[in-house]
Amino acid sequence: MHRDFTRTSGRERDQEDKSPPYRNDRHARDVQRDSYRRREPSYRDDDRRQRDKDLYSDRKRDRYRDDNRYGDRDREYGREDDRLREREGSDSRRAGPSRRSASPRARSSQPESRSRSRSAAAEDKAKPNFAPSGLLAAETKTVKRADGTNTVLKYHEPPEARKPSVGWRLYVFKGKEQVDLLHIHRQSAYLIGRDRAVVDIAVEHPSCSKQHAVIQYRQVQEKNEFGDVKSAVKPFIIDLESTNGTIVNDETIPTSRYYELMVGDVIKFGESTREYVLLSEDAA
């Protein structure tokens, strides 16, 4: 029996052609999946490179923004330092050279200067201060009264104060009558006023101040007719900013300044009519 292979093969082909379509689709999907799996590593590498590129660009953009921000802050600090430097320059022209050194970095100049000022202030407080406070001078110028109250003297003798070697005297006149004689050579200064607790020569007139004036003997340098310089102790008078002033030879003398007295000068205090004539024992 002879078998027809041609017809059989044709029928098989027809059966193959009549196969369900979903089988062909599944085959295509399998082929696509296999190709994607083969190409997947390359896709992954591309994605990683793209992510790295995006991250680098983001970092670069952030760094640029930070540089701009720090640059603005540096410029602001620089302007502030310029203003401080100009202010210190003007102060140094008035008060002398400045000791402040320039900061190496403008950004850290303000905190360093503040910390330096704090540390300097702490060191100054810790160090002993031997400068005169004025308390001792106030204590030496204070006179305690019998009732317990204190009176502060308005006058303090200068370093050139000396006790005179000449016997100076004050002749007190009221009108044409001599009412008193005062010897004023036993000490270097005589305080004149109404406050009997502190003055050396008391005046009673109400126009006179409590501490009115002082007769002060001072050692001064003077030249003789040959040009030689020698020391001499001479009398001076100083008005202690009294209310009605001090008059010498009918002229009001300036306040708080020494005025040299000569033999025969006539002194008056305030509106008092009493006259104090200065003479020495040699002239008398």
- Read off the pTM: 0.51
Digit-coded pLDDT (tens) for 156-180: 899 999 999 999 999 999 999 999 9
Q: Which residues contact 210 (CB under 8 A, 6 or more apart)?
A: 193, 194, 195, 198, 199
Question: What 3-state DSSP class applies to 178?
Answer: strand
* Distance between CA atoms of residues 189 and 193, nearest Å: 13
Q: 194 pLDDT exceeds 70? A: yes
Q: Which residues contact 35 (CB under 8 A, 6 or more apart)?
A: none
* Distance between CA atoms of residues 240 and 253, nearest Å: 11
* Distance between CA atoms of residues 212 and 202, nearest Å: 10
Strands 274-280 and 168-174 turn out to be antiparallel
Digit-coded pLDDT (tens) for 42-55: 555 666 777 777 77
> What is residue 159's predicted lDDT score, i.e. its pLDDT?
92
* Distance between CA atoms of residues 143 and 56, nearest Å: 87
Question: What 3-state DSSP class applies to 116?
Answer: helix
